Amino acid sequence: MTGTSTGAVRAPAELWQLAVDTLESNWEHDHTVPSRTLYPHQWSWDSAFIAIGWSHVRPERAWRELASLFRAQWADGRVPHIVFNAALPVGSYFPGPEFWHSAVADAAPTAATSGLIQPPVHALAAWLAYRRAPSEQGRSELRRLYPRLLAQQRYLATHRDVAGSGLAAVVHPWESGVDNSPAWDAPMAAVPADVAVMSAYRRHDTAHADAAHRPTDLDYARYVAIVASYREQRYRDDGLADRHPWLVECPLLNAAAGAAEHALARIATVVGADPGPHRERAARITEALLRRLYDPVTGTFQPRDLRTDRLIPARTALGLMPLMLPDLPARPAATVIEEACSARFGVARRMDRPLPSHDRTAPDFEPLRYWRGPSWLNLAWLLRRGLRDHGRPDLAAGLRQSMIDLVARSGCHEYFHPDTGVGLGSPAFGWTAALLLDVLADDDPER
Ligand code: DGY
């Protein structure tokens, strides 16, 4: 890594302890908060990544993490992207439970939650947690989770297949997990919103982090407008195509859904269910991703804006994520690897800079602003799995080392400057700690 990061370089044992301490200090009775300051409730895909980390040190917490999240699953199968901790005072987060008002929805649970989803990485997390620490408790946890994971997949395949394409649509940038990615600029620009509405709210994120590193107020005005439209319909999914202002098919979310079917096939063999239907569904998702989101000209995957029925041209790290599908055919896998190794993303056997979240060569690359350039450990972790599955353990090893280097220099930050490695956002972030434990434990990166 080049540049001016001033953080200490830590040895692996010290790093391991730092990550464990970070998870311990973020543990909150039955789940782990992503950050005590910035994100004090439970977030869905954070919990999945965090469970993978816990499986290395306290496996029972991995199961409690997933169990508490799935207790808030809606009757329609959706797993909400935030589960609010009722013990926290009003105003602990924006947008909080009073904004989401999940009780308006027939399918909502008693606990207050958001009405949105996030990428379904939970089946993969459950499988990895079990494989890391197989036990009778693990088997019974898998048996309990299996029908819930099935319902989560069914929700995506039915309620959210808005275009009838075989892919799930996301109804809000927050559902993609990469809130203000340049991938969403064009569909966001089409959402009518007035930045003045933000004077009625108090943003929580900019009270704890530099506003220049976060989404803008205009982004937030649009986020709020999109939620308001969904909430007015009581978070119902029928008729979305006719009325909802923001609808996108995202390569990351759908690749995660495909990877979930592969994980469920393995879980099925442990819980005595039939893995066959999972393999069939996985193949159908891969086929739909190729048909709908693969651009043979760029050789990468791009989101589809369902309001225009066009692929979104921004080349963000989202386009690399379908490599996590083990059944991605050789030709698109090769072009995606080429994209990952290009100057845009810089993946190499020895990386001098970490994986950015957006094309480094693009004019709208912003190295400090959240998902518009900074480096995030979860994207690197997902891509690393794909590189290993597609016969590039050398590149996977380079990516692994770059992840370790980031935390060694800067600590368990939420995200990192993609040139200097300086830590940004929360300084004690759950999934950074958890995924670091996972890559450190994997001491044979070439296997
Ligand atoms: C939210 O409020 O859930 C946003 O995704 C935080 O970035």
Decide if pLDDT at 354 tops 80. yes
Structure pTM?
0.97
Mean pLDDT of 259-275: 98
Ligand 1 binding pocket includes 82 (Cβ within 6 Å): yes
Which one of the listed residues 175, 305, 414, 419 is annotated catalytic?
414
Task: Report the chain's terminal Cα–Cα distance, integer Å.
Answer: 25
Residue of 46, 65, 175, 179 with catalytic role: 179
In this predicted structure, the answer to whether residue 206 has a pLDDT above a threshold of 50 is yes
- Percent over 70 (pLDDT), the chain: 97
Active site residue 414: yes
Q: Read off the tokens for 343.
A: 């100057």
- Please determine, for residue 297, whether its predicted confidence score (pLDDT) is greater than 60: yes
pLDDT tens, residue by residue, 118-166: 999 999 999 999 999 899 999 999 999 999 999 999 999 999 999 999 9
Going by CA atoms, what residue is nearest to atom 3 of ligand 1?
174
Mention every residue, 6+ apart, whose C-beta is less than 8 A from residue 220. Answer: 198, 201, 203
pLDDT band, very low/low/confident/very high, at 443 (cuts 50, 70, 90): low
Q: Which atom from ligand 1 is nearest to the alpha carbon of 174?
A: 5
If you measure from the C-alpha of residue 374 to the centroid of ligand 1, how many angstroms do you get, rounded to a whole number? 16
Q: What is the mean pLDDT of residues 66-93?
A: 97
The 10s digit of each residue's pLDDT in 370-428 is 999 999 999 999 999 999 999 999 999 999 999 999 999 999 999 999 999 999 999 99
Mean pLDDT of the chain: 96
- Distance, in Å, from the CA atom of 198 to the CA atom of 196, rounded to the nearest integer, reads 5
Q: Please check whether residue 93 is in contact with residue 204, taking contact to mean a CB–CB distance below 8 angstroms.
A: yes
Centre of ligand 1 from the C-alpha of residue 334, in Å: 33
Catalytic site includes residue 179: yes
Q: In terms of Cα–Cα distance, which of 67, 203, 74 is closest to 141?
A: 67
Q: How far is the CA of 248 from the centre of ligand 1 (A)?
A: 18
Q: Are 267 and 211 in contact (CB under 8 A)?
A: no
Residue 447 pLDDT > 60, yes or no? no
pLDDT 10s digits, 13-65: 999 999 999 999 999 999 999 999 999 999 999 999 999 999 999 999 999 99
Q: What is the per-residue pLDDT for 10?
A: 83
